Amino acid sequence: MTTHILIQCSKKKNLDVDSNLTWSEKTTLESWKSNWANSKTRIKAKKLYAGRAIKREFGFLSSNIDVSGYIISAGAGLVRLEEMIPSYESTFSSNIRPEYSEWHNLPLGGLSNLEVEKGDRIVSFAAPNYHRALRADPEFQRLALQFTVANTSPLSKDENVTSIQIHSRTAEYLGVAYIDLNSELLNQYLNGGIKRLEEVYLECENLPPLKQRRKITDEDLLALVESFESISSITNSVKYIRHTLGISASYERIRDAIHQLR
Protein backbone atom coordinates (compact mmCIF):
# COMPACT_ATOMS: atom_id res chain seq x y z
CA MET A 1 0.00 0.00 0.00
CA THR A 2 1.29 3.45 -0.96
CA THR A 3 0.36 6.77 0.63
CA HIS A 4 0.32 9.54 -1.95
CA ILE A 5 1.10 12.87 -0.25
CA LEU A 6 -0.01 16.06 -2.02
CA ILE A 7 1.64 19.26 -0.75
CA GLN A 8 1.22 22.81 -2.01
CA CYS A 9 3.92 24.73 -3.83
CA SER A 10 5.64 27.80 -2.39
CA LYS A 11 6.07 31.31 -3.75
CA LYS A 12 9.75 31.42 -2.76
CA LYS A 13 12.05 29.72 -5.26
CA ASN A 14 15.76 28.96 -5.61
CA LEU A 15 15.83 29.94 -9.29
CA ASP A 16 14.98 33.29 -10.85
CA VAL A 17 11.54 33.28 -12.42
CA ASP A 18 11.46 32.79 -16.18
CA SER A 19 10.53 36.16 -17.71
CA ASN A 20 7.73 34.54 -19.75
CA LEU A 21 6.28 32.55 -16.87
CA THR A 22 4.60 35.11 -14.64
CA TRP A 23 0.82 34.67 -14.73
CA SER A 24 -0.80 38.02 -15.56
CA GLU A 25 -4.22 39.32 -16.53
CA LYS A 26 -3.28 38.74 -20.18
CA THR A 27 -2.13 35.15 -19.71
CA THR A 28 -4.16 32.38 -21.27
CA LEU A 29 -3.80 28.66 -20.69
CA GLU A 30 -2.53 28.26 -24.24
CA SER A 31 0.11 31.00 -23.98
CA TRP A 32 1.25 29.67 -20.60
CA LYS A 33 1.70 26.12 -21.89
CA SER A 34 3.60 27.42 -24.92
CA ASN A 35 5.96 29.51 -22.79
CA TRP A 36 6.42 26.57 -20.42
CA ALA A 37 7.36 24.23 -23.27
CA ASN A 38 9.85 26.78 -24.65
CA SER A 39 11.55 27.43 -21.31
CA LYS A 40 15.17 26.23 -21.41
CA THR A 41 16.30 26.55 -17.78
CA ARG A 42 14.89 23.80 -15.57
CA ILE A 43 15.59 22.33 -12.15
CA LYS A 44 14.23 19.40 -10.14
CA ALA A 45 10.99 20.40 -8.43
CA LYS A 46 12.27 19.37 -4.99
CA LYS A 47 15.19 21.78 -5.42
CA LEU A 48 13.19 24.66 -6.92
CA TYR A 49 10.92 25.51 -3.99
CA ALA A 50 12.60 27.34 -1.12
CA GLY A 51 9.70 28.06 1.25
CA ARG A 52 10.19 27.02 4.88
CA ALA A 53 7.08 24.84 5.01
CA ILE A 54 7.69 22.93 1.79
CA LYS A 55 11.34 22.28 2.69
CA ARG A 56 10.16 20.69 5.97
CA GLU A 57 7.64 18.61 4.02
CA PHE A 58 10.32 17.40 1.60
CA GLY A 59 12.24 16.22 4.66
CA PHE A 60 9.21 14.36 6.04
CA LEU A 61 8.65 12.63 2.70
CA SER A 62 12.27 11.58 2.28
CA SER A 63 12.33 9.88 5.68
CA ASN A 64 9.19 7.78 5.15
CA ILE A 65 8.94 4.58 3.14
CA ASP A 66 5.86 3.61 1.13
CA VAL A 67 5.19 7.31 0.54
CA SER A 68 4.97 9.03 -2.83
CA GLY A 69 5.14 12.84 -2.90
CA TYR A 70 3.58 15.33 -5.30
CA ILE A 71 3.34 19.12 -5.42
CA ILE A 72 0.07 20.90 -6.18
CA SER A 73 1.33 23.76 -8.34
CA ALA A 74 -0.72 26.70 -9.61
CA GLY A 75 1.63 26.96 -12.57
CA ALA A 76 2.56 23.38 -13.43
CA GLY A 77 -0.26 21.11 -12.29
CA LEU A 78 0.49 18.03 -10.16
CA VAL A 79 4.27 17.71 -10.02
CA ARG A 80 6.46 14.76 -9.06
CA LEU A 81 9.35 15.77 -6.81
CA GLU A 82 11.94 14.60 -9.36
CA GLU A 83 10.30 16.44 -12.29
CA MET A 84 12.49 18.99 -14.10
CA ILE A 85 10.54 22.26 -14.27
CA PRO A 86 11.21 25.96 -14.96
CA SER A 87 10.83 28.66 -12.32
CA TYR A 88 7.52 30.51 -12.54
CA GLU A 89 5.18 32.91 -10.72
CA SER A 90 1.61 31.71 -10.29
CA THR A 91 -0.33 31.13 -7.08
CA PHE A 92 -3.89 30.28 -6.05
CA SER A 93 -3.53 32.88 -3.28
CA SER A 94 -4.00 35.62 -5.90
CA ASN A 95 -6.96 36.68 -8.02
CA ILE A 96 -4.65 36.74 -11.05
CA ARG A 97 -4.21 33.00 -11.58
CA PRO A 98 -5.48 30.05 -13.61
CA GLU A 99 -9.11 29.13 -13.06
CA TYR A 100 -9.56 26.11 -10.82
CA SER A 101 -11.29 24.38 -13.72
CA GLU A 102 -8.12 24.87 -15.80
CA TRP A 103 -5.72 23.39 -13.28
CA HIS A 104 -5.71 19.84 -14.61
CA ASN A 105 -4.84 21.21 -18.06
CA LEU A 106 -1.68 22.98 -16.89
CA PRO A 107 1.61 21.73 -18.45
CA LEU A 108 2.04 18.64 -16.25
CA GLY A 109 -1.61 17.68 -15.86
CA GLY A 110 -3.60 16.98 -12.70
CA LEU A 111 -4.83 14.02 -10.67
CA SER A 112 -4.51 11.73 -13.67
CA ASN A 113 -0.78 11.68 -12.81
CA LEU A 114 -1.48 9.60 -9.72
CA GLU A 115 -0.82 5.89 -10.14
CA VAL A 116 -3.24 4.78 -7.45
CA GLU A 117 -3.95 1.15 -6.68
CA LYS A 118 -6.61 -0.45 -4.50
CA GLY A 119 -5.80 0.18 -0.84
CA ASP A 120 -3.67 3.26 -1.52
CA ARG A 121 -4.40 6.53 0.31
CA ILE A 122 -4.17 10.11 -0.99
CA VAL A 123 -3.41 12.52 1.85
CA SER A 124 -3.25 16.31 1.66
CA PHE A 125 -3.17 19.14 4.19
CA ALA A 126 -2.76 21.96 1.67
CA ALA A 127 -4.53 25.33 1.90
CA PRO A 128 -8.21 25.46 0.81
CA ASN A 129 -7.42 27.28 -2.46
CA TYR A 130 -5.23 24.40 -3.60
CA HIS A 131 -7.88 21.85 -2.68
CA ARG A 132 -10.43 23.78 -4.74
CA ALA A 133 -8.25 23.03 -7.75
CA LEU A 134 -8.29 19.33 -6.86
CA ARG A 135 -12.06 19.39 -6.45
CA ALA A 136 -12.43 20.84 -9.96
CA ASP A 137 -10.28 18.09 -11.48
CA PRO A 138 -12.37 15.60 -13.54
CA GLU A 139 -10.53 12.71 -11.85
CA PHE A 140 -11.43 13.76 -8.30
CA GLN A 141 -14.71 11.88 -8.01
CA ARG A 142 -13.07 8.67 -9.17
CA LEU A 143 -10.45 9.03 -6.42
CA ALA A 144 -12.56 10.61 -3.67
CA LEU A 145 -12.87 7.39 -1.61
CA GLN A 146 -9.08 7.29 -1.25
CA PHE A 147 -8.65 10.89 -0.09
CA THR A 148 -7.87 11.91 3.50
CA VAL A 149 -7.99 15.62 4.39
CA ALA A 150 -8.65 17.96 7.32
CA ASN A 151 -12.26 18.92 8.06
CA THR A 152 -11.36 22.53 7.11
CA SER A 153 -10.73 21.45 3.51
CA PRO A 154 -13.29 22.08 0.74
CA LEU A 155 -12.77 18.41 -0.18
CA SER A 156 -14.17 17.31 3.19
CA LYS A 157 -17.68 18.23 1.99
CA ASP A 158 -17.64 15.20 -0.31
CA GLU A 159 -19.24 12.27 1.53
CA ASN A 160 -16.72 9.83 0.09
CA VAL A 161 -13.67 11.65 1.47
CA THR A 162 -12.18 10.73 4.85
CA SER A 163 -12.23 13.90 6.95
CA ILE A 164 -10.07 14.40 10.07
CA GLN A 165 -11.35 16.80 12.73
CA ILE A 166 -8.77 19.50 13.45
CA HIS A 167 -9.21 21.51 16.66
CA SER A 168 -9.03 25.31 16.47
CA ARG A 169 -6.21 25.25 19.05
CA THR A 170 -4.09 22.63 17.28
CA ALA A 171 -1.30 25.05 16.35
CA GLU A 172 -1.13 26.24 19.95
CA TYR A 173 -1.00 22.69 21.30
CA LEU A 174 1.66 21.53 18.84
CA GLY A 175 3.71 24.68 19.43
CA VAL A 176 3.88 25.79 15.81
CA ALA A 177 3.03 28.99 13.96
CA TYR A 178 -0.17 28.95 11.88
CA ILE A 179 1.91 29.23 8.72
CA ASP A 180 3.53 25.88 9.66
CA LEU A 181 0.36 24.11 10.80
CA ASN A 182 -0.32 22.15 7.62
CA SER A 183 3.28 20.93 7.57
CA GLU A 184 3.01 19.81 11.18
CA LEU A 185 -0.31 18.06 10.50
CA LEU A 186 1.48 16.10 7.79
CA ASN A 187 4.30 15.29 10.20
CA GLN A 188 1.86 14.05 12.84
CA TYR A 189 -0.02 11.96 10.26
CA LEU A 190 3.14 10.34 8.92
CA ASN A 191 4.21 9.48 12.46
CA GLY A 192 0.91 8.07 13.69
CA GLY A 193 -1.79 8.20 11.03
CA ILE A 194 -5.37 9.29 11.66
CA LYS A 195 -5.19 7.89 15.19
CA ARG A 196 -2.46 10.37 16.13
CA LEU A 197 -4.46 13.34 14.82
CA GLU A 198 -7.50 12.13 16.74
CA GLU A 199 -5.35 12.04 19.87
CA VAL A 200 -4.20 15.62 19.19
CA TYR A 201 -7.82 16.74 18.94
CA LEU A 202 -8.69 15.17 22.30
CA GLU A 203 -5.62 16.70 23.91
CA CYS A 204 -6.63 20.11 22.58
CA GLU A 205 -10.06 19.64 24.15
CA ASN A 206 -8.34 19.28 27.52
CA LEU A 207 -6.29 22.46 27.23
CA PRO A 208 -6.99 25.04 29.96
CA PRO A 209 -9.17 28.01 28.97
CA LEU A 210 -7.39 30.85 27.24
CA LYS A 211 -6.54 33.55 29.76
CA GLN A 212 -5.31 36.21 27.40
CA ARG A 213 -5.00 36.81 23.70
CA ARG A 214 -1.81 35.68 22.03
CA LYS A 215 0.17 37.90 19.67
CA ILE A 216 0.57 36.81 16.07
CA THR A 217 2.78 38.01 13.22
CA ASP A 218 1.34 39.41 9.99
CA GLU A 219 2.67 36.34 8.17
CA ASP A 220 0.92 33.97 10.53
CA LEU A 221 -2.29 36.01 10.45
CA LEU A 222 -2.33 35.77 6.64
CA ALA A 223 -1.73 32.00 6.82
CA LEU A 224 -4.52 31.64 9.40
CA VAL A 225 -7.04 33.52 7.26
CA GLU A 226 -5.97 31.53 4.20
CA SER A 227 -6.70 28.31 6.09
CA PHE A 228 -10.39 29.21 6.47
CA GLU A 229 -12.61 27.14 4.17
CA SER A 230 -14.87 30.17 3.70
CA ILE A 231 -15.28 33.71 5.03
CA SER A 232 -18.87 34.84 5.61
CA SER A 233 -17.92 38.35 6.70
CA ILE A 234 -15.02 40.36 8.10
CA THR A 235 -16.91 40.91 11.35
CA ASN A 236 -17.48 37.18 11.92
CA SER A 237 -13.84 36.49 11.10
CA VAL A 238 -12.71 39.09 13.64
CA LYS A 239 -14.92 37.54 16.33
CA TYR A 240 -13.64 34.05 15.58
CA ILE A 241 -9.98 35.04 15.53
CA ARG A 242 -10.11 37.26 18.60
CA HIS A 243 -12.64 35.52 20.83
CA THR A 244 -12.62 31.86 19.81
CA LEU A 245 -8.93 31.49 18.97
CA GLY A 246 -7.79 34.04 21.55
CA ILE A 247 -5.49 35.88 19.14
CA SER A 248 -4.50 39.50 19.53
CA ALA A 249 -5.15 41.17 16.17
CA SER A 250 -6.99 44.39 15.44
CA TYR A 251 -10.03 44.63 13.19
CA GLU A 252 -7.88 46.54 10.69
CA ARG A 253 -5.14 43.88 10.56
CA ILE A 254 -7.66 41.08 10.05
CA ARG A 255 -9.56 43.11 7.43
CA ASP A 256 -6.33 43.83 5.54
CA ALA A 257 -5.34 40.15 5.59
CA ILE A 258 -8.73 39.17 4.16
CA HIS A 259 -8.51 41.85 1.47
CA GLN A 260 -4.99 40.76 0.55
CA LEU A 261 -6.15 37.20 -0.07
CA ARG A 262 -9.15 38.35 -2.06
Mean pLDDT across 40-51? 94
Question: Which of 226, 141, 127, 135 has its CA nearest to residue 182?
Answer: 127
Q: Has this prediction a pTM greater than 0.95?
A: no
Using alpha carbons, list the distances in angstroms from residue 112 to 36, 107, 173, 192: 20, 13, 37, 28
Model pLDDT for residues 181-224, shown as the tens digit of each residue: 999 999 999 999 999 999 999 999 999 887 777 888 888 888 88
Return the pLDDT at 228: 80
Contacts of 152 (CB under 8 A, 6+ apart): 128, 166, 227, 228, 229
Question: Looking at residue 262, what is its pLDDT?
Answer: 64
Judged against a pLDDT cut of 70, whether residue 230 lies above it is answered with: no
Residues 141, 160: Cα–Cα separation, whole Å: 9
The pLDDT of residue 29: 96
Q: Do the bridges between strand 84-85 and strand 43-44 make them parallel or antiparallel, or are there none, so unpaired?
A: antiparallel
Query: Which H or E run includes 5?
Result: strand 3-8
* Cβ pair 114, 78 in contact under 8 A: yes
